[in-house]
Amino acid sequence: MDQGLELRTLVREDATLELSLVETAVPDPGADEIVVRVEASPINPSDLGLLTGPADLSTLSASGSAERPILTATIPPAAMRMLAARVGQSMPVGNEGAGVVVKAGSSPEAQALLGRTVAMIGGGMYTRLRLLKAADVLPLPADATPAEGASCFVNPLTALAMVETLRMEGHKALVHTAAASNLGQMLVRICKADGVPLVNVVRSAQQEKLLRDQGAEWVVDSSAPDFFDKLVEAVAATGATLAFDAIGGGRIGSQILTAMEAAASRGAAYSRYGSNTFKQLYIYGALDTGPTELVRSFGFSWGVNGFLLTPFLAKIGPQAAQKLRERVAAELKTTFASHYTAEIGLAEALDPEVLRAYARRATGEKYLINPQKGLA
């Protein structure tokens, strides 16, 4: 048995969020299991949903020691209702990560991984040592570092899922919001490689420049005064009738559907029911947790759906999902390369200043946790 150290999030009954590092005992691996020394795990928006949830970060308060910090914050009463099912449970965090296999069970599959750098998904990755099944990891090419393999699943597979959805549902082109994100930059590269027209919606002139410098053809800046006209122009030129929105709150999704409807109705006879062109918006993130506002000036032929990767992979089946994973491994350093703002240790992740920085979810800023860094 090894001694582990793990970042935990706890919602207490008194409406307090408590983040801490917990020492754990890591059992020796069973025959088909391995123990991975985690060296890199990204902080994705979906991780923040579990880590800090709806806590009011202006109330952050630090205690504990430098090596075993404890952070607490107040949770608004309205939000507590949604958290009833997790009250009192100390929960591990971190969807995905990568590291080196340091122990392996007796099975040939497990033994074959000893010393290999592998990518992992399955939660609880903000931890020093992670026990999991040999079958559940993706061995990385020999020249790949854990940092390069840390974001092998969530962003790459989500970006690929968007293009798969376009093909499955028969759309011609795609609109993507928060398009300057790590995921958005991957999507630019995938769409270029696959010949899929992509309309990138960004939130600043700097982000527009970033994507244009990477060769993106259609980029519209929602902060510009002529945003809507440019959006209609790009949607009409590409024929986009499908959109993936990472923002969720506000009217951006509605504006995209309205632009699609405007493009579809150009030159058509008036119909009070709108066009027959079906327009589909998927909300896959919640960068803005406020309400989604649909202004419904886009007829009746439309759909808005929540989108999650795991059910999508289940829907396409294990073979199709495996093909996507293999493409990620093969193009790890090109199409699916991620960029990080900073690499931080477990204790550092519980520094109030650092936490506030990564919890901002600023587009293009992504933090990487290295559980081995600064370890006492």
Minimum distance of its own copies from residue 15's CB (angstroms): 16
Residue whose tokens read 């033994």: 111
Complex with its own copies: residue 104 or 175, whichever CB lies closer: 175
Best CA proximity match to 146, nearest among 115, 122, 124: 115
Q: Which is nearer to its own copies, 28 or 293 (CB)?
A: 293
At its nearest, how many Å lie between its own copies and the CB of residue 363? Answer: 20
User: Contact residues for its own copies (CB under 8 A)?
Assistant: 46, 49-50, 53, 82-83, 85-86, 89, 91, 248-249, 251, 254, 265, 268-273, 276, 283-284, 286, 289, 291-297, 299-308, 310-311
Q: What gap in Å lies between CA 18 and CA 11, rounded to an integer?
A: 6
Shortest Å, Cβ 47 to its own copies: 9
Residues constituting the chain: 376
**Closer residue to its own copies, CB minimum distance, 12 or 333:** 12
Q: How far is the CB of 305 from its own copies (least distance, A)?
A: 4
Closest to 245 measured CA to CA, from 296, 290, 205, 287: 287
Q: Which is nearer to its own copies, 53 or 64 (CB)?
A: 53
Token digits for 314? 């289940």
220-223: long-range contacts, CB 8 A cutoff, minimum separation 24: 222/252
- What are the φ and ψ backbone dihedral angles of 316, each rounded to 5 degrees? -80, -15
CA distance linking residue 37 with residue 371, whole number of Å: 9
Nearer to its own copies, 315 or 339 (CB): 315
Residue 234 CB, nearest distance to its own copies (Å)?
Answer: 19
- For residue 178, give Cα distances in angstroms to 246, 248, 253, 360: 6, 10, 12, 14
Minimum CB separation of residue 147 from its own copies in Å reads 26
